[in-house]
Chains A and B, each alone.
Chain A
Amino acid sequence: MFTRRALMAAAAVTAIVAGMPAKADDISKLPREHVELVAPPFIHAHEQATKAGPKVIEFKMTIQEKELVIDNEGTKIHAMTFDGSVPGPMMVVHQDDYVELTLVNPETNTMAHNIDFHSATGGLGGGELTLVNPGEQVVLRWKATRAGVFVYHCAPGGPMIPWHVVSGMNGAVMVLPRDGLKDETGKQIKYDKAVYIGEQDFYVPRDEKGKFKSYESAGEAYPDTLEVMRKLTPTHVVFNGKVGSLTGKNALTSKVGERVLIVHSQANRDSRPHLIGGHGDYVWEAGKFANPPEKDLETWFIRGGSAGAALYTFREPGVYAYVTHNLIEAVELGATAHFKVEGTWNDDLMKQVSPPGPIGGGARTGALEAPAQHKH
């Protein structure tokens, strides 16, 4: 580790020097806007379409290595995070904007980190230019040339890459077409609300009794974790960093008639989102907005290392479960979110014509008493 760290430090210095923005005049004249990021499932305020010209959008993320509880049993991991959340915050810009990210690695951290934007061109997505050691920061600018939702993740080299990613270091960028999202005919489509669901696979080692182990530090957890990772069988598959982070009191909310854009990212592993009781009205399964959306999907596929977007208008009130439709992962491993939807029930779409009751009748009726097998 120490030899590696020394190498990384050297690499980081090179990276910073090489990455000094040679600001061309035209870019320096562009308007600049600083945007404060918010933790998922929320997304910072943004315009869906814009008449303004390209801008330089400034974001800042501080890398936080911290212990996180990832399930209801109190299982802890030494997470690595962009800005403190798993997944990291979503950044929204428009096509042809410039993203200017300040990435801070505080001295309190123990490892070198960087960021690889799938939406950026060259330099290993920025990974080559952003390796920062504890106590350093770096500023990277890249041009948003392609519209869509894209993953970003930490990729600090070699076996550190998958480990950092499955420790939580990933997030997503949404590059909107300047004139907004469009249906297959090119007509603009809008959403009333957008939510960001980041799916995360965790690989937590167990002791001889099968109980999840905890470790003093990330470094101590690494060898055992790597062993679990190499079996390719996650112990947890969760949305937004923790089992139940989007259910119960944290459930997402909507109302009948509301158009909701659901952005789903998975930086490491395939997934298949499905909205129980709903559909994908318009789905950019591969997440790239230059392609016409698919319509009326029941389940869509998120390739590992990509993000997708689905637009849905809720038509009935009630509870909807948003899951990955490997139901073992959804129920046993945690990948479930809920939408609580208010509104008026539409009998035309669904009605319980006859409530559950005995088959064919002939069952007992009469006075109710506390049902019991033991009479007194």
Chain B
Amino acid sequence: MQASAPSCPRGGDGALAKRTTSRQEVLVFLALHGKLAAKLIFAATAPLVLAATGPDWREAPDRVPVVHVAAGSFDYRIAGAFDREGRPVDAPVRRFAVGRGLAVMKTQVTVADYDRCVAFGGCAQRTAKTGQRPDAPAVGVSWQDASAYARWYAKATGKAWRLPTDAEWAYVAGSRFADDAVTSDDGSGSFARRWLAKYDEESGRTAVEKAPRPVGGFGENERGVADLAGNVWEWTDTCYLRQGLDAEGEPTGARTVNCGVRVVEGAHRAYVTDFIRDARAGGCAVGIPPANLGFRLVRDEPSRTRRALGRLQSWLARA
């Protein structure tokens, strides 16, 4: 079910491209204008809400260990399928800014965490047969499951927890982010040359053991975030994108975005249909597929305005 499968005959994930451009347009519209509306509503009601909820909930301790990743920017090869004059090429590298810093769950959501959501009726049962240890990452979850968890967890904690975007994941992963350029393709020759080069590179992936380790088992990266690129791949919110590029690598022609397929990140990047809980390979696909599908959540660090309001609230509470 990997949309990236280079040798798949047509009709696989393509057939699932049910939510395309129009939906993305609506989401972008809402993201832009909805944010403005939310800002206005927040400014008007924040003092009331804060007074009603007691101590500043934004300062309340998180239920899981959180790593605060500072704002910054980095160059990153974006996710998606790109072609130049009809020949597939590597995705372009773009500068990406994390404007406000991110609070990131230090570890992936665990079996215990996830099962709590199931018990409270917020999440569907997992189907995984392995990883039953409560302190192991919850695996065998689809993007839909992970999104349901994010909604439930955000509500339960009163904080805007959500799945990261692919770029945010890459930023947080730092040295553990794997660039997916097909390095052995020099861009010459037919598409079949690149197809074979990609096949060989994907064949060269080393197998990882399937059984999830208890959280922390794959160590921390330089930012102190644990288990990135271990044997549990993580769902992101980023949709599958397809775009033509001109000779300078700039977008040309129309773009399609398919949100029925989301980007998953880990030891390599993959594209997986949103209801899939086990991204096995087989048939025309090659290489080592994501061993397990899990996730972790992020939230934006509070803005200056929110922080100031928080301080005001604390001061009011003391007075």
The judgment on whether A and B are partners is yes
A-B contact count (CB 8 A): 148
- B226 at interface (Cβ–Cβ under 8 A)? no
Interface of B is mostly: mixed
Also in contact, A374 and B162, with CB within 8 A (given A210-B129, A318-B196, A338-B7): yes
List B contacts of A317 (CB < 8 A).
190, 192-193, 196
Closest CB pairs A-B (n = 8): A345-B190, A331-B283, A248-B203, A372-B165, A370-B167, A317-B192, A319-B7, A363-B254
| Neighbour of B7 across the interface among A209, A321, A365, A374, CB < 8 A | A321
The minimal Cβ–Cβ distance linking A111 to chain B, given in whole angstroms, is 32
Chain B interface residues toward A at CB < 8 A: 6-7, 9, 14, 20-21, 25, 27-28, 31-32, 35, 76, 78-80, 83, 86, 92, 94, 96-100, 129, 162, 165-168, 190-193, 195-196, 199-200, 202-204, 207, 210, 237-239, 241-244, 250-257, 282-284, 286-287, 300
Interface residues of A, dominant DSSP = loop
- From A209, which residue of chain B is reached at the shortest CB distance? B129
Stretch at the interface among A56-64, A119-127, A352-360: A352-360
Cα A318 to Cα B284 with chains together (Å): 12
Choice from A354, A358, A365 contacting B251 with Cβ under 8 Å: A365
* Interface range, A side: 35 or more
Most buried by B among A319, A342, A369: A319
Partner of B96, one of A358, A366, A370: A370
Point out the residues of chain A lying under 8 angstroms from B254, CB to CB: 357-358, 361-365
Q: Which chain A residues lie closer than 8 Å to B165 at the CB level?
A: 370-374
Q: Is the CB of B190 within 8 A of A247?
A: no
Which residues of the partner chain B approach A370 to less than 8 Å between Cβ atoms? 76, 78-79, 94, 96, 165-167, 238
Q: Which residues of A lie under 8 Å from residue B255 when comparing CB positions?
A: 358, 363-365
User: Which residues of chain A come closer than 8 Å to B99, judged between CB atoms?
Assistant: 376
User: Chain A residues in contact with chain B, CB under 8 A?
Assistant: 72-73, 209-211, 247-249, 251, 276, 316-319, 321, 323, 327, 330-332, 334, 336, 338, 340, 342-345, 352, 354-358, 361-376
**Identity of the chain B residue whose Cβ is nearest the Cβ of A256 in the assembled complex:** B192
A356 to B14, CA, bound (A): 10
Out of B35, B238, B284, name the residue touching A321 (CB < 8 Å).
B284
Task: Select from chain B the residue with minimum beta-carbon distance to A363.
Answer: B254
